[in-house]
Amino acid sequence: MAHRTSRETETGPVAGGKPAPTAASAEHPARPHSESDAGPVDTTPAAQVRRFAPLWPLVLGLAFGRAGLIVASYGSYTSTDEGIFTDGAMLVALSILAVFFVLFLIRKRTLSKSSVRATMRVCVALEAFTLAALAYLDVRGINEPAIRFGLSVLCTLVASGAIYYWLRRARGTSTTAAAVFVFSTLIVSEVEIYLCTLMPIAAGNLIACVLVLAQYPCMRWARKRLQPHDIVSPTQRNDYFGFAKTMLQSKQFLTATALGIGCLSIVIGLLRGYPDGLSIAFQPATRIAYGLLTVIISVALIALVLKRREHVLTVGIFVIMELLACFALIAYAAFPEMLDIGAVFTTTLNALMVAFTWYVIIAFMSHGWRDPYYYAIAGWLVWLGCRAVARVALLEVSGLSMNDLLTGALMGAMVVVSTQVIFVQFLNIARHGAQEEQQEARRQQGMLTKIMGLDEHESLASVRQAAMRHNAEEMGRQFLLSEREVEVLTLYALGYTQKRVAEELFITPGTAHAHIKRIYAKTGLHSRQEVLDYLEQYAS
């Protein structure tokens, strides 16, 4: 801060020479960032609905974008997938996205807001075009596989870009808000997709086209509402967003999650084409069962998160997904003539993995220093890349060997591997909680962590930041600073400008300036140097 801020209230020195808290803390209350700052909070269902109402434009926008993709490239989930038109098209789209991933990796720059919005507008227009084109082909009775495949590739690519935009808008939010966002979106999109199955194919494509175009007003609506990172809601310590305060554990945790997602995605790819690589068609009853099961589990997860149950979106979500994989395998074996029963669990598992991957991508975007699209593409490459490769490989290999037992054993083995990868890493993270062990683990990080964009950056040196955070928390307890003020104080003491503080915390420069003024008023200090001197003398 270039200028000094005068005290709001003068107070004399206290014992030990420490500045005393001033009356300014009562005169200038900080905007609460979490429930701990805001005090007792109404947790009734009506209050929860009001609290998360600002998420509606994001929920609808993301749901519209996903519905367009599923209707166009996945046949509205009237079957587990559309075979080569689904995962084959996904592999082509991922190869294009991988090019952008490498560019983000090399250039280490972030896109401007104007570029992000322009890209989003183009993606929405092209996604709507693909749906309109597919409707035209259906009406005219044109069945050209090459054209359909090309439209599927285009839709997969641009719909992914639209989805990234909505995930990007949610970065910096809390555990609770992110969970409500992704699972509410999953529920809304499942209803939209199911309604499209009740119509003729051409009509369903046209309805999905209209829904995709509805993302435009959602963009305007979202900019006028309270932003997700400003919603007052808790972040759990033992969850992805809670690890933001300990950067090393965040890296280990998210890297382990990516490995677990990759292993489980291979299982999903194999389950979707069990046993011979062909799509499994739903009957009306099983199609409804899949949708209802997805909605019920999503509602239950939201309710558990709102009740602040720990480990719901860490251990809990993986247990649910692995159980669904096991139920699918059992159903396939028990009802070999009615594979759609097993497909109910398979497609529900796939849908939950979609929402969970969105959730993890938001965590990456919030904790990492690279461009948000970098983390979104990385999530797609891990989750959808592993699934698509397994699905296409099964389609190719099934003609050589029709050994159902081997296929089932392979999927069971991958479920076990994914379980071991996740839970062993969770135990390791808990075991290495001490500062010395954290520093040793940091020196042993491998290339995967660096590629994922969670490697050390010069402005976020984790050891120095952890120490400064500890000192700022001590100072916060002494002067009754809010949690948000402690965050601002940490970055400000590290030498960040007000603009950089605002960027890191997803607030405006004016809000950052106001927080710094309140810190000065509460502590009786007047400059950054005085803050540093106090931290060194009294808070270390």
Beta bridge partners of 79: 281
What is the rounded CA–CA span in Å between residue 381 and residue 394?
19
pLDDT level of residue 10 (50, 70, 90 thresholds)? very low
pLDDT in tens, 369-386: 788 999 999 999 999 999
Q: Residue 458: what pLDDT? A: 42
Domains and CATH numbers, the chain: 45-436 (1.20.1250), 457-539 (3.40.50.2300)
Evaluate if residue 487 carries a pLDDT over 90. no
Evaluate if residue 148 carries a pLDDT over 80. yes
522 contacts: CB under 8 Å, gap ≥ 6 = 21, 22, 24, 25, 479, 480, 481, 485
What is the rounded CA–CA span in Å between residue 157 and residue 145?
18
DSSP string, 42-93: --SHHHHHHHTGGGHHHHHHHHHHHHHHHHHHSGGGSBS--GGGTHHHHHHH
54 contacts: CB under 8 Å, gap ≥ 6 = 225, 226, 227, 228, 230, 231
Mean pLDDT of 124-135: 97
Radius of gyration in angstroms for the set of CA atoms belonging to the chain, rounded to a whole number: 25
What is the rounded CA–CA span in Å between residue 358 and residue 20?
45
What is the phi/psi pair of residue 79, to 5°? -140, 175
DSSP string, 488-527: HHHHHHTT--HHHHHHHHT--HHHHHHHHHHHHHHHT--S
Evaluate if residue 237 carries a pLDDT over 70. no
Helix, strand, coil % in the chain, rounded to nearest 5 = 75, 0, 25
pLDDT level of residue 441 (50, 70, 90 thresholds)? very low
What is the phi/psi pair of residue 281, to 5°? -80, 140
Evaluate if residue 6 carries a pLDDT over 50. no
Q: Residue 278: what pLDDT? A: 86
Q: Where are the alpha helices (DSSP H) in 198-227?
A: 201-213, 215-224
Q: Beta-carbon neighbour count of residue 398 at 10 Å? A: 18
Average pLDDT value for the chain: 81
Question: Cis peptide before 336, with omega less than 30 degrees from 0?
Answer: no
Mean pLDDT of 56-62: 97
Q: Residue 402: what pLDDT? A: 56
Of 143-147, 462-466, 508-512, where does the model show the most confidence?
Answer: 143-147
CB 250 within 8 A of CB 244: yes
Looking at per-residue pLDDT, the higher value among 20 and 320 belongs to 320
pLDDT level of residue 124 (50, 70, 90 thresholds)? very high
Query: Which pairs with CB-CB distance under 8 Å and at least 24 residues apart come from 134-139?
Result: 134/72, 134/205, 135/202, 135/203, 135/205, 135/206, 135/209, 138/200, 138/201, 138/202, 138/205, 139/202
Evaluate if residue 301 carries a pLDDT over 60. yes
What is the rounded CA–CA span in Å between residue 173 and residue 162?
19
> Residue 440 carries which side chain, given as an amino acid letter?
E
CB 490 within 8 A of CB 469: yes
Evaluate if residue 501 carries a pLDDT over 50. yes
Q: Residue 456: what pLDDT? A: 46
The pTM for the full model equals: 0.77
The number of CA neighbours under 13 Å toward the Cβ of 455 is: 13
Q: Residue 419: what pLDDT? A: 73
Evaluate if residue 365 carries a pLDDT over 90. no
Q: Residue 33: what pLDDT? A: 42
Looking at per-residue pLDDT, the higher value among 99 and 527 belongs to 99
Beta bridge partners of 131: none
Q: Residue 241: what pLDDT? A: 64
pLDDT in tens, 247-296: 444 556 667 777 888 888 988 998 998 888 889 999 999 999 999 999 99
pLDDT level of residue 179 (50, 70, 90 thresholds)? very high
| Residue 285 CB burial class (10 angstroms; 0-12, 13-18, ≥19) | exposed
